[in-house]
Amino acid sequence: MMNYSRNTKKRFNKLLLPGSLAVIIGILVIVSCSAIDEPLPETVAEGASVEITEHIKQTTASTAISTEPVTEIVSLGEYKLTAYCGCPKCCGKWGENRPFDENGKPIVYTANQSIAEEGVTIATDINVLPYGTAVIIDGHKYIVQDRGGSIAGNKIDIYFESHQAALEFGVQHKEVFIEREVKNND
Ligand SMILES: [Zn+2]
């Protein structure tokens, strides 16, 4: 172990890395060392490597050296929120003759050909919030996957599996946020 540490130090000096990057590599080396120190059974070793990967991700994110997209949360102000399900009452002719899955549950395809999912799917005015937009309501992230004739401007229709749940949601007014990518985080 002592020899290994000395070797590591030497490598550092040679590389002359910028401080923050050196710290990351330092952490990684330490993590690697502790993994090497105690040989683990194969399955546990796999778990350890996952932990190391997680550690790398966290470290790079916090030092902003990463090239992974950085996101920010932006308020859009107050929206009128309504709710719908896949039934003909909510969707008119689109709600008729839905195909069924293996459990006999209707499969509801959205306007962008996603399969509607409670807790994920919302319908918007896609000129305002295009398909794929991540919208945060009450701290929960939904994805724009649908649209509707009466959903225009600052209105959002939230998908529920059951008509009853949609009725219970009723009409609400809430501040909504979008999560968007930061193009330049310098
Ligand atoms: Zn319905």
Q: How many helices (H) and strands (E) does the chain have?
A: 5, 6
Query: How remote is the CA of residue 150 from the centroid of ligand 1, in Å?
Result: 15
pLDDT of residue 58: 52
Query: How remote is the CA of residue 152 from the centroid of ligand 1, in Å?
Result: 19
Please choose, from the candidates 106, 111, 181, 176, the residue with its C-alpha nearest in 3D space to the C-alpha of residue 145: 111
Query: What is the full per-residue pLDDT of the chain (186 aa) written as tens digits?
Result: 444 444 444 444 444 445 554 444 444 444 443 344 444 444 444 444 445 555 545 544 555 566 778 999 999 999 999 999 999 999 999 899 899 999 988 999 999 999 999 999 999 999 999 999 999 999 999 999 999 989 999 999 999 999 999 999 999 999 999 999 987 655
Q: State whether CATH 1.10.260.40 applies to domain 71-181.
A: no
Contact of 147 with 123, CB cutoff 8 Å: yes
Query: How remote is the CA of residue 95 from the centroid of ligand 1, in Å?
Result: 8
For the chain, the domains span 2-63, 71-181
pLDDT of residue 63: 53
Query: How remote is the CA of residue 130 from the centroid of ligand 1, in Å?
Result: 23
pLDDT of residue 132: 97
Q: How far apart are CA 186 and CA 182, in angstroms?
A: 10
Distances (CA, A) of 91 to 30, 84, 97, 127: 57, 8, 12, 20
Query: How remote is the CA of residue 177 from the centroid of ligand 1, in Å?
Result: 26
